[in-house]
Structure 1
Amino acid sequence: MNAAEPHALDNPIWSSLRSRHAALALSAGPLARYPAQVAPFMGVAEEGADAAAALEELVPAQDTVLLLDRAPAVPPGWELEHLADLAQMICEAPIAGAPASEDTNDIVELGEDQRGDVLALTALVYPHYFRPHTMRLGRYFGVYRDGRLAAMIGERMGMDGYTEISAVCTHPDFNGQGHARRLLRFLSNDNHARGRIPFLHVSHENPRAVGLYERNGYRLRRDIPFWSLRRS
């Protein structure tokens, strides 16, 4: 990569919609977004891009899109809100040091037959970003206990050499049993084995999650602005 070129992770939504998820992209001018039933995210080619016509085409009334890093110029009738600066974290090497007793045989891939369980869990503990067809973005894995989905993890955005880890969540009835740690190790190391570096985004206001990631080989790459954009 030329030193003058931006890194793909600096504009991850746009990068993903221009590469691994190009088949899902709804595009107009300097904007690209996921279908609303897949994910609420929109990417912007360049900061401050003139996107009035593209916004009218891609974002219907009553819809809100979420952006990372870059935002377009905001035309009249639209409201842009800075929600937070998220921690973008990256795991550049396989996670070592798993206890010899750590068993992954109970980790199962989640598919269409489990979609109802996934939607029920995410509605409870991860409600803002998971949509009815988010599972089209990548692979999802979970752990069942007593016939219930106790914890899950998945893949969301992606581009050449990188995969975003997402939807790391545990049902409150099963907290403290190490499921999130095991799932994180499993999927992070699986991506490394496939030649992909895992990364993720997490709120600084969630120190428990940040600590989990730090203890398992993730480091802060950068703080990245997180925005919402909607018709005012």
Structure 2
Amino acid sequence: MAEHHPLDNPALAALTGPHAHLAEHHGTAVRYHPDVCPMAALPDDPSTGDWADAAALVGPGGSMFLPVVTVRPPAVWQTTMQLPGVQMIDGGVECAPDDEAVVLSATDVPEMLDLVRRTRPGPFLPRTIEMGTYLGIRRDSRLIAMGGERLRLPGWTEISAVCTDPDSRGQGLASRIVLALADGIRRRGDIPILHADARNVGAIRLYAALGFDVRREVMFRVFTTPDRT
């Protein structure tokens, strides 16, 4: 049997490690606070009891967004999303700080949410900024590009929510944000990772060109409980 790697169940490693302060638990089931991140986690090879804890955690009609792991829920659970993706890790990224990239704070969240709505880089919620460092680039006082840290597990930090205003694309801003984030992660002693939609070939090519290697193909799934027990 292959040795378990933290990246094989990264949400669990984050929620029981560096992000434990952002977690909600019921028994063995754990998730981020709903205003922080939709991701949740169960133990590897979850048992019927683990799924019962998950049902109690999310309530009737609630959902568990389980990233990366391959699990089979009990028959009463419905699979409501399946999204193929890739998990990529630092394979020699030439990271560097960026003088134009500024650290974003809670006061910037309304503008960040607006940029996310227009670009759809993935889940970003009112408290997502609490997961780690977020950097942005402004022009004429307007936020035109951003990205930040999402899952943080021992030794690894995920780069996520990288997006650029449609009117400002083609200037390499996303690459600069990624490299600046990777620089901060490396300086902290962690290894940068990221996840990408397998259908977004352009983004995967960009990350590969920056020095990220595909570690494995993954699946992002959402499982939903019955409306009533």
- Return the letter of the residue paired with 2:38: P
Superposed CA deviations along residues 144-184 of structure 1, whole A, max 9, x for unmatched, are 11221100010000111110000011111111111101111
1:41-190 aligned at under 5 Å gives the runs: 41-50=39-48, 51-70=50-69, 74-75=73-74, 77-81=76-80, 83-95=82-94, 104-126=98-120, 128-190=122-184
Deviations 1:22-78 (A, max 9, x none): 111112233211111111111111224223431232113454331123365534542
**Cα distance change of structure 1 residues 32 and 71 upon mapping to structure 2, 3 Å threshold:** farther
Query: Is 1:48–1:71's contact at 8 Å kept on the other side of the alignment?
Result: no
Asked if 1:25 corresponds to 2:19, the answer is no
CA distance, structure 1, for counterparts of residue 16 and residue 222 of structure 2: 21
CA distance in 2, matches of 1:64, 1:179: 35
Runs of 4+ that moved beyond 6 A:
none
Bigger Cα displacement from structure 2, 66-75 vs 87-96: 66-75
For 2:15 and 2:3, locate their aligned partners in 1 and report how far apart those are by CA, in whole Å.
Answer: 18
Q: TM-score, normalised by structure 2?
A: 0.90
Q: Separation in 1 of the partners of 2:172 and 2:3?
A: 40
For residues 144 and 62 of structure 2, the distance between their equivalents in structure 1, rounded to whole angstroms, comes to 31
Letter in 1 for 2:11: I
| Partner residue of 2:218 out of 220, 224, 228 | 224
**Identity over the aligned pairs, expressed in percent?**
35
How far apart in 2 are the matches of 1:63 and 1:131? 18
Give 1:127 deviation, angstroms. Answer: 6.5
Q: TM-score, normalised by structure 1?
A: 0.89
Cα distance 1:64–1:127, how it changes in 2: closer, same or farther (>3 A)? farther
Q: CA-to-partner distance for each residue in 1:180-206, whole Å, 9 max, x for gaps? A: 011111111221122110000001110
Structure 2 vs 1, CA of residues 195 and 92 (structure 1 numbering), >3 Å: closer, same or farther? Answer: farther
Q: Aligned to 2:32, which of 28, 31, 34?
A: 34
What runs of 5+ residues in structure 2 fail to find an aligned partner?
none
Contact 1:88/1:202, CA 8 A, preserved across alignment: yes
Are residues 114 and 85 of structure 1, via their aligned partners in 2, closer, same or farther at CA, if it must alter by over 3 Å? same
1:215 alignment partner in structure 2: 209
Aligned to 1:13: 11
In structure 1, C-alpha distance between the alignment counterparts of 2:29 and 2:70, rounded to whole Å: 10
Unaligned 5+ runs, structure 1: none
Moved more, 128-137 or 171-180: 128-137
**CA–CA separation in structure 2 for the residues paired with 1:104 and 1:112:** 21
| Secondary structure of 2:18 counterpart | coil
Letter matched to residue 137 of structure 2: V
